[in-house]
Amino acid sequence: MSTGEDMHALVERLYPLCRSITGDGVRRTLGIVAEYLPLRVHEVPTGSKVLDWTVPREWNISEAYVADAEGKRVVDFAESSLHVVSYSVPVSATMSLAELREHLHTLPEQPSLVPYRTSYYAPDWGFCLSQDTLDALPEGDYEVRIDSTLTDGHLTYAEHVVAGEVTDEVIVSCHVCHPSLANDNLAGIAVATFLARELAARDPYYTYRFLFVPGTIGSITWLARNAERIGKVAHGLVLACAGDPGSLTYKKSRRGDAGIDRAAQHVLAGREHTVLDFSPYGYDERQYCSPGFDLGVGSLTRTPYAGYPEYHTSADNPDFVTAEAMADTLAVCREIFSVLDRDRRYVNLSPYGEPQLGRRGLYDSLGGRSDAKQAQLAMLWVLNLSDGEHTLLDIARRSGIGFGAVVAAADALSAVGLLAPATGA
């Protein structure tokens, strides 16, 4: 199978599991990911103070249904984890349809679909079903059962680290808290998993830290528990909605001009894409970019959250995401990080006048190359702008020369002693 097909197979395997912000569904999800990557799994006890939040009680569920007077289950958690409002408290009761309606959630404008709903921080319960199913329910009494537990337990998250040449880090974050939603959750997990495997095979410059965390509370917990590491985070990317057929969308960091912002926009140039300015709403980039941390973390999706009809519904299933779209997302991530790994500042060691390139063999090395003129021009641009202030990506953008050609020029000039890395580059 291709890498795209392998990622899609992972999505299909994870899809049936009931995930939430805590619980065994998260552990089972991470257990499957651990078959692909070595993970360090963290368990943070209920009641732990994490920044302005507190780790909640752990939620688990084994069974839930609504049955009619004949005992037929008209809504059944066993058919889909979306059928129960996440974090529903236990219920065992018989009630009329009128009473039950107060706890039923539908999408009247999408009558055949089941919505996704949560009640993380307020004790409540409920069922999600299609409007078509609700409309077909006759008046009468219904048996309602939710066999769930809310107990002191743990919040679970995991990390995978790909060691680089330097200890400065790039964090790649995806959320693992949504139940059966293939694009808004699982495609991001799959792309992150396969990206980590690829990076490990290429000896990257930066150290890459992959975070598999529950949304919001998970990233907040990681930030609270890693204060000593925050200063090492050079760049970051949040991955979500990574498998739908739409074009790619990049959302800038709070800084707006962070290294990840520049690299992502450079890679996406020339293809259909959208760039969004930062806003404090969305996925976990809003936690990493909160003003106290202000990390250079952007977000990469295909169609953004709430931007497609299948969002947070039963239509966000494995048939909605494609191997081709996930492979494309992976390829763009690969290229963004390739740029980050090479985008450094240099200093021209012979800045007074143009150094003689011929006697250093640099012109001779270009003989016969079809791109000799561009390669020569790239050297001149690199020499001119290597003042310790401009990065190689700055030079590529200003000169209009491809980033790869600029990198090759910098390597050639460094090899003959005309360039040196800038201090702190």
User: Does 341 count as an annotated binding residue?
Assistant: no
Q: Is the pLDDT of residue 25 over 80?
A: yes
- 287/372: higher pLDDT: 287
Mean pLDDT of the chain: 95
pLDDT band, residue 366 (cuts 50/70/90): low
pLDDT for position 357: 86
Q: Is the pLDDT of residue 59 over 70?
A: yes
First-to-last C-alpha distance (Å) of the chain? 40
The stretch 143-147 carries a mean pLDDT of 98
Q: Tell me which amino acid residue 353 is.
A: G
Q: Is the pLDDT of residue 385 over 90?
A: yes
The stretch 214-237 carries a mean pLDDT of 97
Query: Which CA distances in Å does 304 have to 244, 251, 281, 351, 419?
Result: 10, 9, 12, 46, 42
Give the dihedral of Cα atoms 88, 93, 95, 97; nearest 10 deg. Answer: 40
pLDDT band, residue 365 (cuts 50/70/90): low
pLDDT band, residue 361 (cuts 50/70/90): confident
Closest residue by Cα to residue 126 from 83, 72, 93, 81: 83
pLDDT for position 248: 98
User: Does 178 count as an annotated binding residue?
Assistant: yes
Tens digits of per-residue pLDDT, 72-92?
999 999 999 999 999 999 999
Structural domains in the chain, CATH included, are 3-56+154-342 (3.40.630.10), 58-151 (3.50.30.90), 345-421 (1.10.10.10)
Classified as helix, coil or strand, 245 is coil
User: Does 184 count as an annotated binding residue?
Assistant: yes
- Given the DSSP bridges, would you call strands 40-45 and 233-239 parallel, antiparallel or unpaired? unpaired
Q: Is the pLDDT of residue 93 over 80?
A: yes
Q: Is the pLDDT of residue 105 over 80?
A: yes
User: d(Cα 23, Cα 59) in Å, to the nearest integer?
Assistant: 5
Residues 227 and 36 sit within 8 Å (Cβ to Cβ): no
User: d(Cα 288, Cα 314) in Å, to the nearest integer?
Assistant: 30
Give residue for tokens 């909160």. Answer: 290
User: d(Cα 157, Cα 176) in Å, to the nearest integer?
Assistant: 8
Task: Return phi, psi of residue 286, to 5°.
Answer: -70, -25
pLDDT for position 359: 86
Residues 212 and 186 sit within 8 Å (Cβ to Cβ): no
User: d(Cα 155, Cα 57) in Å, to the nearest integer?
Assistant: 8
What's this model's pTM, rounded to 2 decimal places? 0.95
pLDDT for position 373: 82
pLDDT for position 206: 97
**Relative orientation angle of helices 403-415 and 392-399, to the nearest 10 degrees:** 120
Tens digits of per-residue pLDDT, 258-313?
999 999 999 999 899 999 999 999 999 999 999 999 999 999 999 999 999 999 99
Q: Quote the DSSP letter at residue 356.
A: -
pLDDT for position 65: 98
pLDDT for position 360: 87
pLDDT for position 116: 98
Tens digits of per-residue pLDDT, 206-225?
999 999 999 999 999 999 99
pLDDT for position 1: 81
Q: Tell me which amino acid residue 131 is.
A: Q
Q: Which residues, in sequence order, are CB contacts of 147 under 8 Å at separation 6+?
A: 61, 62, 63, 64, 90
The stretch 237-242 carries a mean pLDDT of 98
Residues 341 and 390 sit within 8 Å (Cβ to Cβ): no
Classified as helix, coil or strand, 193 is helix
Tens digits of per-residue pLDDT, 309-359?
999 999 999 999 999 999 999 999 999 999 999 999 999 999 999 998 888
- Beta pairing partners, 391: 345
Q: Which two tokens stand for residue 254?
A: 């709070």
